[in-house]
Amino acid sequence: MKAFYLLLAIILSWQLAASQALQRDKTFNNNDTTANASTRCVAVQADGRIVYFGDNTFYNGQWPDGKGIPINYGGRLNADGTYDASFSPISLDGRIDDVEIQPFDQKILIAGSFTMVNGQPRGGVARLNTDGTLDPTFNTGIGIKNSRATTRAWCLEVKEATDPAKSKIFIGGDFQEYDGVTTGSVVRLNLDGSLDKTYKPKVVDYGVVYDMVYDKANDFLYIGGEFYTVDDVDICRLARLKPDGKLDLTYRIGPTTYNRPHSSVTSLFLNADGKLLAGGYFDKVNNIHRGGLARFNLDGTLDMNFNTGVGFQGGTTTGTSGTEVRSILVLGNGSVIAAGNFTSFNGLPCGNVVKIDANGSVDPSTTFGAGFNGMVWDIRIQRQLSGVEKVIGGGGFGYYDLEYQGAIVRLVPEITLSDVFLRIDARAEKEGALITWKTNVLHPSAEISVERSTDGKQFTVIRTANLGSFGKTAGDYSYKDPALPAAVVYYRVHIRDTEGSVYSNIERVGGIGSSLVSIFPNPVNTTLSLRSTFSKATNCNLELYDAAGALVKSWKVRINNGMQVNQFTMPDMARQQCFIRVRDEAGNILLVSKLSYVK
C-alpha cells in the first residue's frame, strides 16, 4: 500500500536470467507457517527486521494446533522470518492499516481505526519505540475524528529533515478533525504528534485519502483516494499538494481540467524520474482505458507511453470492493510489480501479482507461478546484509504458487542453472573420471558436493568441501573420481551458500563399449556443440524443436569412434526454451534435452 521514492539495486538481482521466477523463500521462518488471518501492512527496518500488522492472532501456526505464538494484531519478525520475542506485545481496540518506519531513529508509526493503544488514548495514530512499547513523547491528544462511524487513518508518510527534530509526519484517511481542530482528511504532524497548523490542506466533502507519497525533491505531497474537491476545486481522486498544503493548480491535464480516475485510487508510487504510478479500482482515467494502473507525467498529464489497456480484471478475495491494485513497486529499469486483488492482466492469468514493462505491457522476464490465492495488501523490499534484495508480501492469502505458508511470505529470485553453472563437463580418462565446472559463485565458504550415480536417479556424495578446495582459478573447478566403472556412470554437482542451493545438470560418462552424447553450452546463443563418445563410427541426426514442439532445424552428422566434438550454427529465432533430440542411424534416441536459447 505504501510507496517508495527510490528502489535501487533490486533490478540487479532480477536480471540474472532471461526468464526469472520469483519463488517462495523456504528458508523464511524455517519454512514454518507464518501469520494466520490477513496481514494488512508490513515495513522493514534498517537491520532487516520486519514489522507487520493485520487481523492476525497467531504466528508459527494456527489455533488449535497448539504450536502457534499468540499475538494481537501483529508484531515483529527477525530478518530470517522467525518471531522476535523481544518486541513488546501491543494492545489495541481497532485495526492497524498502515505502518512506517522513521528513518532517522527506526521508531514505528502506525495508523488505523483504533482509539486506544496499550490502554492510552491514541486516536488513529500512534508511535512505538523500537522495542514495541508505546512512545509517550508522541501524543496525538484526541487524534482523528469523524462524524461518521468510518473514522480511520489509512496512510502515513514521513518527511525527513536534515535535522531529524524538524521532520514531519503526514496522515491521510477518513476523518475531518485532528485533536479537536477541523482539518479535512489530510494533516501534517510535528514530531511530537501535535498538529502542524502551518500546513492547511482542504480535503473536505467527507472525502477519503487511501494513500499518499512524499516528493522529497520538490516538497510536494501526492494524495489518492475517493474525494471530489480540494481547496474548493473540483478535482477527483488524485491531487498534488504544495509545501504549504494548498492544491497545486499546475498539476492537471489541461488549462482548467484535472485528472479523473473513474473510481478510487488506493496505491501510489513516485518513480525516480518524478513520474507517478497510481493504482486502485478504476478502469479508466479521463475516459481512456487504464485498468487499475496508470502513470502520470510531471505536469499531471496521463503518460501515454504507459498503456495498461483493459488491465486488471477478476478478484479472489471476498469482502473487498472488487478488482484492485493495492501495492506497487517500481524497479530500476522502470518495470513495475503490481499486487492486489485480481486474477488476470489484459487477459493473461495472474494470481494477484504481476510484473509490467515500463510501457505498460506484461513483462515476461519475471514469473510468479500460480501467484497468491488471496488479496495482497502490501509488498515491500527487504535488503539483506549481503546486498541481496527480497520481496516481503502480506495479505489475505495462505498460499503462494500452490504452496502454503500463511499470510506473510518472502519471495526470492529462483536460482537457475544458468545463474550458477556456466559450464559442467564429465569425461573418462585413464585414471578415472574428470568432472569440471565453471560457476558464478565465488564465495570461498560455499559448500560443494560432487555426487555419483549408476542409474541417474539415486546419487551418492563422493566428495564435499568448500569451493576453494576444488580449484585455484576463480570460477573454474574440477574433481577427479578414480572409481570409474566399466558401465555408464552419472555425475552432478551441488552448490550451497547462504542464499540457497542448486544442483547442476547431470553428466554421463561411459565405460568400455558405451555410446554417449551431450550438448553444450546451455544456454546457447550462436553455436551449439555436440560431444560424443562412441565405440564404433555411426551416423546421427540432431533435431531442434521449439517450445511448442515444432521441428525448427535438423542436422546430419558422421561420428567416428572415440570422443569428438561437432559444432552447429543455431538458427535465428526468438529467445525461448527449446528441445534437442539426438538419434542414431537405427532411429534409437540417444539424447533428449532442454535447451535455453538466448538471442
For residue 198, the tally of other CB atoms under 10 A from its CB is: 10
Alpha-carbon distance 517 to 555, whole Å? 15
CATH 2.60.40.2550 fits 515-599, yes or no: yes
Q: Are 92 and 111 in contact (CB under 8 A)?
A: no
pLDDT of res. 465: 81
Alpha-carbon distance 261 to 237, whole Å? 7
Preceding omega of 523 cis (within 30 degrees of 0): yes
Alpha-carbon distance 230 to 259, whole Å? 13
pLDDT of res. 433: 81
pLDDT of res. 385: 47
Find, among 117, 120, 124, 127, the residue nearest to 93 by Cα: 117
Alpha-carbon distance 99 to 390, whole Å? 19
Predicted TM-score of the model (pTM): 0.70
Q: Are 264 and 282 in contact (CB under 8 A)?
A: yes
Between the alpha carbon of residue 2 and those of residues 43, 83, 325, the distances in Å are 9, 23, 12
Q: Residue 413: beta bridge partners?
A: 22
Residues 6+ apart with CB under 8 A from 412: 22, 23, 25, 388, 390, 391, 499, 500
Domain boundaries, the chain: 10-413, 415-510, 515-599
Residue 156 has φ and ψ, to the nearest 5°, of -130, 150
Q: Are 401 and 391 in contact (CB under 8 A)?
A: no
Q: Are 9 and 381 in contact (CB under 8 A)?
A: no
Residue 56 has φ and ψ, to the nearest 5°, of -70, 145
What does DSSP say about strands 589-597 and 344-345: parallel, antiparallel, or unpaired?
A: unpaired
Q: Are 343 and 353 in contact (CB under 8 A)?
A: no
Same fold, 415-510 and 515-599: yes
What does DSSP say about strands 408-413 and 421-429: parallel, antiparallel, or unpaired?
A: unpaired
pLDDT of res. 497: 62
Q: Are 507 and 434 in contact (CB under 8 A)?
A: no
Specify the long-range contacts of residues 130-133, CB closer than 8 Å, at least 24 apart: 130/45, 130/105, 130/106, 131/86, 131/87, 131/88, 132/75, 132/76, 132/87, 132/88, 132/89, 132/90, 132/108, 133/88
Class of domain 415-510 as given by CATH? mainly beta
Alpha-carbon distance 239 to 251, whole Å? 7
CATH T-level topology, domain 10-413: Methylamine Dehydrogenase; Chain H (2.130.10)
pLDDT of res. 206: 72
Q: Residue 543: beta bridge partners?
A: 554, 581
pLDDT tens for the chain, 599 residues long, are: 444 333 333 333 333 333 467 888 888 998 889 998 899 999 999 888 999 999 988 898 654 455 678 888 899 999 889 999 999 999 999 999 999 999 999 999 999 999 999 999 999 999 999 999 999 999 999 999 987 778 899 999 999 988 888 999 999 999 999 999 999 999 999 999 999 999 988 876 678 999 999 999 999 999 999 998 899 888 889 999 999 999 999 998 766 677 789 999 999 999 989 999 999 999 999 889 999 999 999 999 999 999 999 999 987 655 456 899 999 998 767 789 999 999 999 999 999 999 999 999 998 777 888 999 999 999 998 875 444 568 999 999 999 999 999 999 999 875 444 455 556 777 776 667 888 887 765 555 677 889 988 877 788 999 888 766 666 555 578 888 887 665 678 888 887 765 556 777 788 776 544 556 788 888 888 899 988 876 567 888 999 988 777 899 999 999 887 678 899 999 988 888 888 888 878 777 677 777 888 87
- CA-CA-CA-CA torsion sign (431, 437, 443, 445): negative
